[in-house]
Chains A and B, each alone.
Chain A
């Protein structure tokens, strides 16, 4: 009896061991067909949103190509630091970088990215919305293919106002009115901290008053009347109480927090905020409207272009396969998936006509509209210096260190100085 049990058990053990060996053998055998690995560095949030598409790519190309993603830091600029550190070593660990629109000029100028015109023809570009085509080229050569579009939007509380403000002055006066009536404690919240977000906010203001930052000929438009008007308006937002004093330390996070708590009537932010504001636990769920930026009658309503896209590094050994991976991750089907699950603004025209998407999201038309009014920040390798000059002078104006006129003139002269020492823009 006992012997029998021992026999049975040992047969089972033997069988299982055999199975394990077979599986291990199989695995090591499959290693013989090592796939070519394409390494991509992305900021952490994108790793999560693209995971499903990466997995399905790897499944379809099993044994041939494998996308391996590296989780970068959360902060946009920290990702850039990481990428640059690896690029400076000469031979980068990565084939593909997911890059922000403001890095493009710098990276291209440094020779780190390869031109994509051998892969992409005009026909393919024409499938994208106008705003999505922008921000991918430097000196008329494309270096990047977009994953998603990103544009500045004006959020408002549709339950509190009857008429959506269309001009900067209306936005200011409506905010003040709502505060005086005690409806909200803050009127308009935006990005006033001394950082890149302030440049994004101000680019929209410059155009709203009929001005600009640096025009296509490379002429600096700071210090002009419209720029002073724009700066005065931003300063008056705080003075008049339309925006809280603490807006001088607001990033997107603080602005969203105030708006989501129902304490603000208007907010400048990016499309991602829509999904956040309409989550089930959001106090303002269903009360939020989105529109394009305000502008004076002689100005233009524009949205600052954000957007992320993939670029192939010069040091990559598998550029063709890298491009194949990029096309897959940014395909219509992929973008559909990103929009439905993560609210990423699509870049393909076709998706804006897609019935399912349209019925699923009320802001798709607004996104399309904003995308068509989008404006790029100056495309130059010295963008970071120029932007920091503007940020610092704006921060000085907003915190009452200098007047808008002085600030804009200083911004102009310092920008010119940087351009001069760089030789050109």
Chain B
């Protein structure tokens, strides 16, 4: 019984921080609460949800959010593993290199997004200049629906890879050196030791960073807002941005809450799918190595 008492403070905090917004949003999503109701809260049963189901913009943004999250988190993970492995080596001034590698992460998103907007801008951005000079031609990165969302992925990867790398580095450092030596004496080469020791032992850290990053990427807002504003042709608009626009621009808080809650449900569903996919691929992995 005493343990219940002991976890009460922590549990209360969690409930306040996580429970309250979800309950509040659920409640709001069943009400009209906008500038058109004179900011009065009026019950409207499921009107917001019916509207959501028929809202093309919501679904386009949902697909974009999933596309953005999947691609950027995948790239980040692969890069982060590589960087963590490099930082794990005995390199000169390791502490300095590690601290420096965190810089992109420490930079405020809006500032770094402005930087990337400048880099990708046409015709005065440095990237266009380089591509023009070497004769590749003009790309119009931010103004072309084919590329614009990829530039936001690149910016996101640049910003968050170091953080994951550091998380994974902590994981790498928790693996005793003995294991590698024992495996070496048993005849394992470095590829095998990566596949059979490093990866399996890093798995909890990888899962942790995956969950952490996907949740974060699903809520991406400031990066998109600054870099593309959701354009061109609405191709880069995320659910987070849409929820923000509904609240702060359209003053439609009921629908904004609905969008937020729907994207939360989508996130849970996505994580569930990911979990199933990961379990299957883990089985396959164990079979083939």
Contact = CB atoms under 8 A, between A and B. Distances in A.
Q: When A and B assemble into the complex, do they touch directly, with CB atoms less than 8 Å apart? A: yes
25 contacts: A81-B248, A84-B248, A109-B36, A109-B38, A110-B38, A111-B38, A194-B228, A194-B229, A245-B144, A246-B122, A248-B140, A248-B143, A248-B232, A381-B36, A382-B35, A384-B245, A384-B250, A385-B249, A385-B250, A392-B231, A392-B234, A395-B232, A396-B145, A399-B145, A401-B233
B48 to A, nearest CB: 10
Interface string A250-288: 100010011000000000000000000000000000000
Contact of A111 (B39, B57, B229, B234): B39
A194 B230 contact: yes
B233 to A, nearest CB: 4
A282 B29 CA distance: 53
Contacts of A248: 140, 143-144, 231-232
Given A254-B124, A399-B232, 6 more contacts: A84-B251, A106-B251, A192-B143, A257-B124, A381-B35, A388-B249
Contacts, number: 103
Contacts of A421: 51
Contacts of B233: 194, 392, 395-396, 399, 401
User: Binding site of A, secondary structure by majority: helix, strand, loop or mixed?
Assistant: helix
A414 B60 CA distance: 14
A186 to B, nearest CB: 8
Contacts of B256: none
B118 to A, nearest CB: 11
A84 B245 CA distance: 12
Residue of A193, A247, A248 ringed by the most chain B CB atoms within 10 A? A248
B125 to A, nearest CB: 9
A378 B51 CA distance: 24
A422 interface: yes
A123 B4 CA distance: 74
Interface residues of B, number: 29
Given A248-B140, A249-B142, A421-B51, A398 B250 contact: no
A110 B247 CA distance: 13
A35 interface: no
Contacts of A195: 229, 231
Interface string A12-27: 0000000000000000
B204 interface: no
Interface in B145-179: 145
B114 to A, nearest CB: 11
A60 interface: no
A110 B251 contact: yes
Given A257-B124, A422-B36, A245 B245 contact: no
A80 interface: yes
A244 interface: yes
Contacts of A136: none
Interface string A67-89: 00000000001001100100000
